Amino acid sequence: MAPAEKKVIISIQQVSKSYQQGKVKVNAVNDLSLDIEEGEFTALCGPSGSGKTTLLNMIGGLDLPTEGVIKLELQELAQLSRMALSHLRRDRIGFVFQAYNLIPVMTAYENAEFVLALQGMPKAQRRERVMSILKQVGLQGLESRRPDEMSGGQQQRVAIARAIVTHPAVVLADEPTANVDSENAEALLDLMEELNQREGITFIFSTHDPRVMKRARRLVYLRDGQLDPAA
């Protein structure tokens, strides 16, 4: 029996991104093409300045390419309005940032609940979903803690909970283990790997952390904004 064909969830075709830095034009991404399939656990690797974060931002609709086309679930991001992009990020994409970026005046529960509230989900349903996600990421009992009352690892777990609570198509994680110790980094990777396998969520990391690279099932090397075929 032939294996089931996986569909391409992200299609990147001849994408370039350049911007002005003072008087200098910087080509952050240069004529890059790449397809990501549903359920992948992929790491974008490369040294600083190789274009990992820029590519991740463009995939997430936070930034738009100067040239080329990026499609997420067949929708061309550059064609979407600001509002449509907002809705796409809210409903189909989860973000995990290097510096956690939780909202400091909200508790762990409220941070995770925030996106569901933006979706307009009823309160009771939100509660059920958030409690279940917080249990999955190992934060049961810490729901009412604010970010400044939690460790780095715990904060990153809240960030993961916030990213997956809407059952997104893809989670984009920018250096997710950069600010946590080894033990917590391994635990976070275990968690993301488990969510990927159990929930089928596509994960794309930007990283130069060997621990992440070791866990990723696909490594995409970038150098000077292009795929690095030599790596």
Partner 1 sequence: MNLSGLAWRNIWRRKRRTGITAISIGFGVFLAVTSSGIGDYSYTNMINASAQMGWGHISIEAPGYYQSPALDKHINQVGAIQQMLQNTPGVESNYVRIMGQGMFASAHKSVGGAFLAIDPNTETGAHNLFLRSLEEGKLFAANSSGVVVGRGMAQKLKLRLGKKLVYTTTDKKGEIVSEIARVTGIFTTGVKEVDSAFVLLPINAVRHTIGYKSDEASLVAVMIEDQRYTTKVLASVRERLDSESGQNNLLTQNREILSWRETQSEIAGLISLDRSSNYISQILIGLLISAGILNTLLMSVLERTREFGVMMAVGMAPHSLFFLVIIESTWLAFLGLAVGILITIPWYFYLNRIGIDMSGAMGDDYTAGGVLIDPVLRLYLYPETIVAILSVVFLLTLLSGLYPAWRAGRIPPVESLKAM
Of the candidates 28, 93, 33, which has an alpha carbon nearest to the alpha carbon of residue 66?
A: 28
Q: Does 178 bind partner 1 (CB under 8 A)?
A: no
Among 4, 74, 83, 124, binds partner 1 (CB under 8 A): 83
d(CA 106, CA 31): 41
3, two tokens: 């294996």
d(CA 160, CA 128): 17
DSSP state of 180: S
Q: Which is nearer to partner 1, 157 or 162 (CB)?
A: 162
Q: Which is nearer to partner 1, 162 or 215 (CB)?
A: 162
Q: Least separation, in Å, of the C-beta of 106 and partner 1? A: 6
Q: Least separation, in Å, of the C-beta of 182 and partner 1? A: 26
Q: Does 114 bind partner 1 (CB under 8 A)?
A: yes
Among 12, 43, 68, 89, binds partner 1 (CB under 8 A): 89
List of residues 6+ apart from 25 with CB closer than 8 A: 18, 19
Judged by CB under 8 A, the chain residues 16 through 75 that form the site for partner 1 are 57, 60, 62-63
Q: Least separation, in Å, of the C-beta of 90 and partner 1? A: 2
Q: Does 175 bind partner 1 (CB under 8 A)?
A: no
Among 8, 26, 78, 106, binds partner 1 (CB under 8 A): 106
Q: Does 105 bind partner 1 (CB under 8 A)?
A: yes
Q: Which is nearer to partner 1, 86 or 140 (CB)?
A: 86
Q: Least separation, in Å, of the C-beta of 75 and partner 1? A: 15
Is residue 209 a contact partner of residue 179, using CB atoms and an 8 Å limit?
A: no
List of residues 6+ apart from 9 with CB closer than 8 A: 36, 37, 38, 40, 72, 73, 169, 170, 202
Is residue 150 a contact partner of residue 108, using CB atoms and an 8 Å limit?
A: yes
Of the candidates 170, 230, 205, which has an alpha carbon nearest to the alpha carbon of residue 44?
A: 205
Binding region for partner 1 (CB under 8 A): 57, 60, 62-63, 82-83, 86-87, 89-91, 94-95, 97, 101, 103-106, 110, 113-115, 117-119, 162
